[in-house]
Amino acid sequence: MQTVRWGIMGLGKIARRFAEDLSLTTDNQLVAVASRTRENAQQFAKQYGAKYWFDQFEALACCPEVDIVYIATPHTDHYPLTLLALQQGKHVLCEKPMGINAKEVVAMQQLAAEKRLFLMEALWTRYMPSYQVMLEWLPQIGIIKQLRADFGFAARVSQEHRLMNKAKGGGALLDIGIYPVFLALQVLGIPENISATATLLSSGIDAACQIDFDYPQQGAKALLTCTILQDTASEAVVIGENGNIHMAKPWHSWGAVTLQLTGKPPLTFTPEKRGNGLWLETNAAAQAIRTGKLEEPLMPHAVSLQIAHVLDAIRGQIGLRYSQD
Ligand SMILES: NC(=O)c1ccc[n+]([C@@H]2O[C@H](COP(=O)([O-])OP(=O)(O)OC[C@H]3O[C@@H](n4cnc5c(N)ncnc54)[C@H](OP(=O)(O)O)[C@@H]3O)[C@@H](O)[C@H]2O)c1
């Protein structure tokens, strides 16, 4: 099988988890890494066995031995760095959210299509075993009436950290609210009405959001919450006519999932944890490239664009604007 040669741009927390997980896959190789600083790039390359390190993102984009670039920078850099990599003929796996807004996502996807290069948003939840089981069980609960999903943690980081910094796309919605939004869109589709409220900090970022999606035609609602102020239950439940599916914390990754049909004993699937969970999306992206696909079937461009449009609509309601808007 053809080995897929990876480069990573932005060497922070998720990049480390990604590099660790690459070693759990076969026929993938970490070839090059790029950081804003020489020290970080050198140290990271040494630790994870990358042949090349760069202290400029442009240099990695031009590295002839790299097939695909994993973009692991703060949200605001996803757009410019994806364009940079695509311009140099590289495929791209870009961290979530793909762009700050739908306008950026459209431009990224247009360039990938023009260049006939692969582009995918790294929404790892889509590839997690419990998530697949939830989707398989879904038809059994009948018409869905309600979905509740929450994601919250107390962010113990400095005011300069990307999560708190508006200039770097900080705030709860784009960082973790994207997961409940994604779940609701996949399970219930595009809502007819969206209503959202948020706790905005003096820095201008949203520390917490409450989002309701309304589906009057099927009499369903999605009640979604996210916060970076407290550790919360971080569970999800999908309630249908015949029962419910409960996704335990952390529902977006390694949590167990339980099917409870009315009058029947519960059935629980507990995933066997392996690595950080990022190797599943990595394998999917690599296989798409090997087989000449420009989109990954489980996470196609249309899904990323839909998410971006809905996040824009929510931000419109809570009055959260970034300079990119
Ligand atoms: N942490 C998670 O669990 C997680 C999970 C899923 C997705 N993600 C996504 O992955 C992305 C990165 O998250 P992270 O938690 O890894 O962030 P992080 O720890 O802050 O790392 C981001 C890295 O990007 C580089 N960078 C480039 N331009 C930067 C700038 N202007 N300001 C600050 N750093 C800059 C830095 O690496 P250099 O110093 O090497 O340049 C920094 O270490 C985010 O978009 C997030 O949504 C994170």
pLDDT band, very low/low/confident/very high, at 263 (cuts 50, 70, 90): very high
Question: Residue 280 above 80 pLDDT?
Answer: yes
Q: Once rounded to an integer, what is the mean pLDDT over residues 89-107?
A: 98
pLDDT confidence of residue 110: 98
Do 140 and 254 belong to one domain? yes
Do 47 and 110 belong to one domain? yes
Question: Residue 213 above 80 pLDDT?
Answer: yes
- Per-residue model confidence as pLDDT tens digits over 243-257: 999 999 999 999 999
Q: Does 288 map to a domain?
A: no
Query: 89 C-alpha vs ligand 1 centroid, how far in Å?
Result: 23
CATH number, domain of 175, equals 3.30.360.10
Query: 211 C-alpha vs ligand 1 centroid, how far in Å?
Result: 26
Q: Once rounded to an integer, what is the mean pLDDT over residues 119-131?
A: 98
- Strand 220-227 relative to strand 236-240: parallel, antiparallel, unpaired? unpaired
Between CA 11 and CA 205 the distance in angstroms is 24
Query: Is residue 164 within 8 Å of 205, Cβ to Cβ?
Result: yes
**Would you call 56 helix, strand, or coil by DSSP?**
coil
Q: Once rounded to an integer, what is the mean pLDDT over residues 66-84?
A: 98
Percent of all residues in the chain with a pLDDT value above 90, rounded to a whole number:
100
Do 133 and 266 belong to one domain? yes
The tally of domains found in the chain comes to: 2
The domain of 105 spans: 4-125+277-283
Q: Does 305 map to a domain?
A: no
Q: Is 211 in the pocket of ligand 1 (CB under 6 A)?
A: no
pLDDT confidence of residue 11: 98
* Structure tokens given for 288: 């798409």
Q: Is 12 in the pocket of ligand 1 (CB under 6 A)?
A: yes
Residue to substitute in 8, 13, 54 for testing ligand 1 pocket (most ligand atoms within 8 angstroms of CB): 13
Do 169 and 249 belong to one domain? yes
Does this model's pTM top 0.85? yes
Do 103 and 192 belong to one domain? no
Q: Does 298 map to a domain?
A: no
End-to-end CA distance of the chain: 43
Q: Is 13 in the pocket of ligand 1 (CB under 6 A)?
A: yes
Query: 314 C-alpha vs ligand 1 centroid, how far in Å?
Result: 23
pLDDT confidence of residue 72: 98
Question: Residue 268 above 80 pLDDT?
Answer: yes
Query: Is residue 191 within 8 Å of 222, Cβ to Cβ?
Result: yes
Question: Residue 1 above 90 pLDDT?
Answer: no
Do 95 and 141 belong to one domain? no
Do 49 and 169 belong to one domain? no
Q: Is 95 in the pocket of ligand 1 (CB under 6 A)?
A: yes
Angle at 101 (CA atoms; ends 235, 167), nearest 5 degrees: 90
Q: Does 291 map to a domain?
A: no
Do 85 and 145 belong to one domain? no
Which one has a higher pLDDT value, 1 or 199? 199
DSSP annotation of 156 = -
Q: Does 319 map to a domain?
A: no
Do 49 and 121 belong to one domain? yes
Q: Does 201 map to a domain?
A: yes
Q: Does 116 map to a domain?
A: yes
Q: Once rounded to an integer, what is the mean pLDDT over residues 277-290?
A: 98
Question: Residue 155 above 70 pLDDT?
Answer: yes
Between CA 121 and CA 105 the distance in angstroms is 10
Q: Once rounded to an integer, what is the mean pLDDT over residues 39-45?
A: 98
Question: Residue 157 above 70 pLDDT?
Answer: yes
Do 141 and 90 belong to one domain? no
Report the side by side order of strands in the sheet with 267-269. Answer: 193-200, 206-215, 220-227, 144-152, 236-240, 243-247, 257-261, 267-269
Do 91 and 62 belong to one domain? yes
Q: Does 227 map to a domain?
A: yes
Do 164 and 108 belong to one domain? no
Q: Once rounded to an integer, what is the mean pLDDT over residues 50-79?
A: 98
Question: Residue 323 above 90 pLDDT?
Answer: yes
